Amino acid sequence: MSTPPSGPQYPGQPGQYPPGQPGDHSNSQYAPGPPVYTPGGSHLQGGYGYAPPGQLAGWPVRVGASVIDSLVQLPPAVIGVIVAVAVNGDSRQLTPAAATSMVLGGLLSLLVAIWNRVIKQGRSGQSIGKQVTGLKIVSARTGQTIGVGRTLGREICANIFNNLCFLNLLWPLWDAKQQTWHDKVVSDLVIKL
């Protein structure tokens, strides 16, 4: 491909395109923008790729999003324990009402986690923690959200890998695409918007 001539350009000169014709990049819609990650590739490309604008999310901000998500699901379980202690009084053995309170608090906490980390994140690419920190999960191939099904698989893999080996949590520190193992399994990227 030849390089365009330098200096002033006039319509009709070689290397020039008439306004509105294919190849005319004077319209800002086609002007290169900031670099974005190109799904399916291992390099950065100008802003006219099909990936959403953003850069790969760093490890500290991903940890922050995860901490926020954990705090979001914590209140129902804590309230269940507090009610259980209040109902149980000073008895050493758990009463049925106290046990029910704890179980309901735990189930409500699980439902909040499923809504936040699977349904909300699957549909929008962002859990509450990712929304607060400006992160989004996208497909490495298409740059689109990965959907509820793949997000559920991602969360199941994350729980398995994190409990089997702590290394999964640290993997983004040296991975070229800053992915954890569960990101690799479902082929997603976490980007900073």
Band (pLDDT 50/70/90 cuts) for residue 50 is very low
Please give the Cα distance from 56 to 191 (Å, whole number).
4
pLDDT digit string, tens, across residues 54-99: 799 999 999 999 999 999 999 999 999 999 989 887 778 888 999 9
Band (pLDDT 50/70/90 cuts) for residue 180 is very high
Phi/psi-derived region of residue 75, left when phi > 0, alpha when psi is between -120 and 50, beta in every other case: alpha
Residue 6 domain-assigned (yes or no):
no
Higher pLDDT, 162 or 50: 162
Residue 32 domain-assigned (yes or no):
no
Residue 179 domain-assigned (yes or no):
yes
- Contact criterion met (CB below 8 Å) for 184 and 172: no
Residue at token pair 């149980």: 88
Q: The tokens of 116 are what? A: 């936040």
Work out the number of other CB atoms within 10 angstroms of the CB of residue 79.
15
| DSSP 8-state code for residue 117 | I
Residue 123 domain-assigned (yes or no):
yes
Residue 172 domain-assigned (yes or no):
yes
Residue 140 domain-assigned (yes or no):
yes
Distances, alpha carbon 169 to alpha carbons 73, 84, 155, 183, in Å? 20, 34, 13, 11
The pLDDT of residue 22 is above 70: no
Q: So what's the pLDDT on residue 19?
A: 53
Residue 91 domain-assigned (yes or no):
yes
pLDDT digit string, tens, across residues 104-155: 999 999 999 999 999 999 999 999 999 999 999 999 988 899 999 999 999 9
Q: So what's the pLDDT on residue 14?
A: 52
Total of domains in the chain: 1
Which candidate, 126, 81, 85, places its Cα nearest to that of 104?
81
Band (pLDDT 50/70/90 cuts) for residue 170 is very high
φ/ψ of 108, rounded to 5, equals: -65, -40
Residue 136 domain-assigned (yes or no):
yes
Residue range of the domain that includes 152: 55-192
- Contact criterion met (CB below 8 Å) for 46 and 82: no
